[in-house]
Structure 1
Amino acid sequence: MSFISLENAHKAYDAGYHALRGVDLRIERGEFIALMGPSGSGKSTMANILGCLDSLTSGHYYFNGLEITTLSRKQRALVRRFCIGFVFQGFNLLSRTSALENVELPLLYKGLDKKSRHAKAMHALERVGLARWAGHLSNELSGGQQQRVAIARAIAQEPMFLIADEPTGNLDSTRSVEIMELLTSLNRELGVTILMVTHESDMARYASRELHFFDGQIQIDQNTPESKKSKDMP
């Protein structure tokens, strides 16, 4: 069985809007997927379903052998807490809290003691090149640095699956490239399966596979060009 799979997935809302229309999808462990599509195409709904933030109206969702569609809201929350990491366009950091404390926060919810939280958070900050900024408040950091803290917060939890929602949307081109190279290294070196929602084709090419949504269905499912993926490889 695939790491992640959707079978005949539908999502409808009370107003009659159908965000997903019979989607079938397979994601293998270690893939880096770019999810694209115009506004209203269903890509955000897809990300919310895969991240256990929302549930299907009908169909099946399997995650690492577990059928998510049979779980209660509380059980889905546990899957999010222990298996899935999130990186958002708006960073979602606490402004008057240090970078280290921001990274530690979700580890507190997982029940780790202070020493373990600190060690994991520092290791994650080192991984994204921000160890020397650990004591700085998030509002003292640049946009690119704040997004790196957000990525550190996600990977400190050692997720099986990372969902990045427009991770470069608030960044300039230089910072965007830095973030994409970081995500690529996490995918290659740590084997983290990544789903990135983006509307930027240049950023999507860092992924190994592109899914294009339109009217609640996958219209294009293709491997990305090799140029971006292989440029830093020997």
Structure 2
Amino acid sequence: MASNPPDPIIRLRGVTKTYGEGPTAFQALKGVDLDISAGDFVAVMGPSGSGKSTTMNMLGCLDVPSSGTFEFKGVHVERLDRDQRALLRRKYLGFVFQGFNLLARTSALENVELPLLYRGESRKERQQAGMAALEQVGLAPWWKNTPAELSGGQQQRVAIARAIVTNPDVLLADEPTGNLDSERSIEIMELLTRLNQERGITVLMVTHEADMAAFARTIVHFKDGLVERIDTGHRAGVPV
């Protein structure tokens, strides 16, 4: 007996996004429909100006549609105010950036603890969760090191630990290997794959690199403000 597919954790229907007004208005999204299943590993690709970054900003609850609907776990995000979207981000989402975005003068552990500090958790709770996250990314022995004392690959691992320390449902990664060499890039992709498979975290990743996108199960191609096509059936962690 075939099992039913999991319910989408994210659903976009007829999503548009327009910047500006009048003759200078620019329509970045022109009616995007997209379902993302819980536990999927999705790579988002497309040329500059295709709408992929606008869509990722929306999925990260940093922006709202001009029209259309955006459901996250059944909640209509387009109806939430700024504070409500911030709470949703804090509780359910983790972010990884191309430039790492670490605090230069603080240790790896202190960087990882930062989201928990915003949540008001105790120092003991922050340290325990921070060390556990660093352990998961293989950097527990470097917990005292500042970013300047770490390689680029290690800095991105710290950034990933910071993103998962809150146990998010969804991890959004914006060009996570963009500043890394090929070997370190593969290590980061293998780490993201492991977090997806072992912890069930839904991973959404923007990338320009086809060999990095090949780690994903689903590849969404954007063009001219629309989803051009969706490639499915990849086995996450096994480039094709």
TM-score strictly above 0.5: yes
Code of the aligned partner of 1:212: H
Match status 1:136 vs 2:145: yes
Match status 1:113 vs 2:119: no
Aligned position for 2:11: 5
Q: Encode CA deviations 1:62-118: one digit per residue, 9 max, x unaligned.
A: 001111011001100110111100000000000111000000011100111111110
SS state at 1:92 partner: coil
Aligned position for 2:39: 30
Q: Encode CA deviations 1:41-74: one digit per residue, 9 max, x unaligned.
A: 1100000000001111011000011110110011
Contact 1:205 1:224 in 2 (8 A): no
Code of the aligned partner of 1:13: Y
User: How far apart, CA to CA, are the structure 1 residues paired with 2:104 and 2:164?
Assistant: 20
User: How far apart, CA to CA, are the structure 2 residues paired with 1:96 and 1:188?
Assistant: 33
Aligned position for 1:190: 199
Q: 1:124 aligns with which of 130, 133, 138?
A: 133
Contact 2:214 2:238 in 1 (8 A): no
Match status 1:229 vs 2:237: yes
Code of the aligned partner of 1:118: Q
Aligned position for 1:101: 110
User: How far apart, CA to CA, are the structure 1 residues paired with 2:237 and 2:124?
Assistant: 37
RMSD of equivalent CA atoms: 1.1
Contact 1:35 1:211 in 2 (8 A): yes
User: How far apart, CA to CA, are the structure 2 residues paired with 1:19 and 1:50?
Assistant: 15
**What does 1:1-234 align with in structure 2 at a 5 Å threshold?**
1-14=7-20, 15-223=24-232, 225-226=234-235, 229-230=237-238
Structure 2 residues not aligned, in runs of 5+: 1-6
Code of the aligned partner of 1:37: G
How much does 1:224 deviate?
5.4
Q: Encode CA deviations 1:162-208: one digit per residue, 9 max, x unaligned.
A: 10000000000000000000000000000000100000000000000
SS state at 1:104 partner: helix
TM-score under structure 1 length normalisation? 0.96
Q: Structure 1 residue runs of 4+, over 3 Å off?
A: 228-231
Contact 2:190 2:237 in 1 (8 A): no
* Number of aligned residue pairs: 230
User: How far apart, CA to CA, are the structure 2 residues paired with 1:2 and 1:31?
Assistant: 10
Code of the aligned partner of 1:58: S
How much does 1:229 deviate?
3.4
How much does 1:230 deviate?
4.2
Structure 1 residues not aligned, in runs of 5+: none
User: How far apart, CA to CA, are the structure 1 residues paired with 2:212 and 2:231?
Assistant: 15
Code of the aligned partner of 2:13: E
User: How far apart, CA to CA, are the structure 2 residues paired with 1:224 and 1:52?
Assistant: 28
What percentage of residue pairs aligned between the two structures are identical? 58
